[in-house]
Amino acid sequence: MKYPDAANGYVLRRMEAQGDDLSSPRNVEFTVVFPHENAARQFADHFSTLGYAVSTELTETVENFPWDVVVVKHMTPSHEEIGAFENSLDSVAATLGDTVMDGGACPPLGRVNE
């Protein structure tokens, strides 16, 4: 499949090249980082209330943004769905001040060539 030349497109192309069946739904983790605990907890509470699995942790992975919030969404990992959910995350995060989208994790499932 053809994906845009962007971070998500690169990840999906790599997964597909490794034989991952991208038509199989799975849990996809999205990480948003915050400079302050209060904003991180508000963000996490918002998505937890919507039914998503959420975790908040002080990791200090990104300089000046020590608080990580991981939101897990069960979805088929398509460029469109990932982008749409990232937009949802961004719109909520923007109401809380400075944030950074720190990427996502999508475990491989259903290898096509197995």
pLDDT digits (tens, 9 = 90+) for 22-75: 888 989 889 999 999 999 999 999 999 999 999 999 999 888 989 999 999 999
Please report the pLDDT score of residue 3 as a whole number.
66
Asked whether 47 and 53 are in contact (CB, 8 A), the reply is no
Share of the chain above pLDDT 90, in %: 43
d(CA 22, CA 43): 29
With a cut of 90, say whether residue 18 has pLDDT above it: no
Please report the pLDDT score of residue 109 as a whole number.
42
pTM, entire model: 0.81
Please report the pLDDT score of residue 111 as a whole number.
34
Mean pLDDT of the chain: 83
Residue 110: pLDDT band (50, 70, 90) is very low
| CA nearest to 8, candidates 33, 34, 28 | 28
d(CA 32, CA 56): 10
